[in-house]
Amino acid sequence: MIIYADNAATTKLSEKAFNAMLPYFRECYANPSSAHFLGQKARSALRESRSVIANCLNAGPNDKLIFTSGGSEADNLAINSIASYGIRHNRRHIISSKFEHHAVLHSLSELEKNGFEIELLDIPEDGIIEPSAVAEAIREDTAGVSIMFANNEIGTIQRIEEIGRICRSHGILFHSDAVQAVGHIRVDVDLTNVDYLSFSSHKFHGPKGIGGLYVREKSPVSPLIYGGSQEYGLRAGTENLPGIVGTAVALEESLAHLDYKISQTTAIRTYIQNEIASIPSVRLNGHPLERLPGNLNFAFDGVDGDSLRYLLEEKGICASAGSACNSSSSEPSHVLKALGLSDSLCKSALRLSIDESLSIQDAAYIVSSIKLILSELWD
Ligand SMILES: Cc1ncc(COP(=O)(O)O)c(C=O)c1O
């Protein structure tokens, strides 16, 4: 038996997306830039997929969707665009937060080496940044703000609409890394006032190695990759058409019956949450309600998180200690450190990220397995 509770790391490719991708490997395999009829067919699939994704995000007719190799590249492209704008307008101050994904944080530390001043906001204990903290940090030389939509380790959902309104009223650029949010909760680029928004297909049952950056109509873009004129001349390289087609199908499918899926997943999560968080010496990391429907993150006082994860794996349960990108690192999670947890509590953490396919029986099995392992570890 395998119970997969690591959907924040990646998801299973949907059957519908898989089937939709197949013709673009060996039948309609032409380059979308080719002039012949097969190229035209590929180009039209590209256009159609872009328009489906734009609709799903409620993008305007002149906004851009730039396909990238995934969420990391989209984040890098957004930060690079804010930085280039900052250089042109002599604004070298960028605001972000301490618990962003490393695709954002490491891009920002590169800028710091090149004369930018990076201000990383502290994270309150509940994992939700106060929009007023963003407003207070804004200065005359602020080029932009980058705050994630939902955190990948603790799942807390940020007040993006309010932060977007603040950035808009100050005339500064706003990027949100929505890699964990798109396909899981409603993401509307119009409502949120973002200039840039990153997404990644493999987080919503699409293929790996494909994602994109939404860019508002007149927001500036500075390419990372130069070459051909693909993607409005802003991201060179022959398009990953099967991936793009799969992304559109997976996103449309994720958003169909979204309210039902949210309530289903939230109900199962709440059951696990109540069962585990009520155990003495267990701490739920992040706000109990304002979090992604399928995310749970616990710290277990006196327990080694890696051992707990291995023991769960022996019972067929796939979970993770934190972010998949840092699973080989022995450093405590920067997200949990930002919440104020001690190093030993950080290292005791377990992230469960479920989706609506998890049955109540599977959830009960996860709960009883964790309780049994804890009783042995704490014995
Ligand atoms: C919040 C967040 N941003 C960015 C990324 C990077 O996405 P990708 O794996 O598509 O490069 C991830 C992946 O874990 C993520 O969770």
Q: In the annotation, is 167 catalytic? A: no
**Residue 325 CA: which ligand 1 atom is closest?**
14
Residue 107 in contact with ligand 1 by CB distance below 6 A: no
Ligand 1: does its nearest atom lie under 6 Å from the Cβ of 180? yes
Out of 28, 167, 325, 346, pick the active-site residue.
Answer: 325
Yes or no: say if 333 and 153 are a contact pair by the CB < 8 Å rule: yes
Can you give the pLDDT at residue 155? 98
d(Cα 311, Cα 329) in Å, to the nearest integer? 20
In the structure encoding, which two tokens stand for residue 288, read together? 């109990």
Residue to substitute in 13, 79, 179 for testing ligand 1 pocket (most ligand atoms within 8 angstroms of CB): 179
For the chain, 379 residues long, the average pLDDT of each consecutive 10-residue run is 96 98 98 98 98 98 98 98 98 98 98 97 98 98 98 98 98 98 98 97 98 98 98 98 98 96 97 97 97 98 94 97 62 95 95 96 98 90
309 lines ligand 1 (CB under 6 A): no
The finding on whether 231 has its CB within 6 A of some atom of ligand 1 is no
User: What is the C-alpha to C-alpha distance for residues 150 and 293, in angstroms, rounded to an integer?
Assistant: 11
Atom of ligand 1 nearest to the CA of 202: 10
Roughly how many angstroms between the first and final C-alpha of the chain, as a whole number? 27
Using CB atoms within 10 Å of the CB of residue 15, give its burial: 0 to 12 exposed, 13 to 18 middle, 19+ buried: exposed
3.30.70.580, 3.40.50.1820, 3.90.1150.10, 2.40.50.100: CATH of 3-11+257-377: 3.90.1150.10
Are the beta carbons of 73 and 46 closer than 8 angstroms? no
Rounded Cα distance between 134 and 155, Å, is 20
Cα of 205 vs centre of ligand 1, distance in Å, is 14
Question: 190-224 burial by CB neighbour count: b if 16+ within 10 A, else e?
Answer: eebbbbbbbbbbbbbbbbbebbbbbbbeebebbbb
Q: What pLDDT score does 160 carry? A: 98
Domain 15-255 carries which CATH code? 3.40.640.10
**Strands 3-4 and 317-318, sheet pairing:** parallel
Task: Tell me the C-alpha distance between 377 and 379, whole Å.
Answer: 6
Residue among 7, 10, 101 whose CB has most ligand 1 atoms within 8 A, to mutate: 101
Instruction: Please state the length of the chain.
Output: 379
Q: Report the separation in Å between the CA atom of 281 and the middle of ligand 1, taken as the mean of its atom positions.
A: 31
Whether residue 74 has its Cβ less than 6 Å from ligand 1: no
Quote the CA–CA distance of 140 and 149 in Å, as a whole number: 25
351 in contact with ligand 1, CB cutoff 6 A: no
Query: Are 197 and 186 spatial neighbours (Cβ–Cβ below 8 Å)?
Result: no
Nearest residue (CA) to ligand 1, atom 8: 71
Long-range contact pairs involving 45-48 (C-beta distance under 8 Å, separation at least 24): 45/241, 45/244, 45/245, 46/239, 46/241, 46/244, 48/248
Q: Is 47 exposed, middle or buried (0-12, 13-18, 19+ CB in 10 A)?
A: exposed
206 lines ligand 1 (CB under 6 A): no
| Domain 3-11+257-377 identical in fold to domain 15-255 | no
What is the C-alpha separation between 313 and 46, in angstroms, rounded? 40
Would you list the domain boundaries of the chain?
3-11+257-377, 15-255
Q: What is the largest CA-CA distance in the chain?
A: 71
Would you say the pTM of this structure is higher than 0.85? yes
Please report which residue ranges of the chain form alpha helices under DSSP H: 15-21, 23-26, 37-57, 71-88, 102-113, 131-137, 160-170, 189-192, 230-233, 241-255, 258-277, 305-314, 334-338, 343-346, 360-377
Tokens 């570890």, residue? 377
Query: What is the model's pLDDT at position 330?
Result: 73
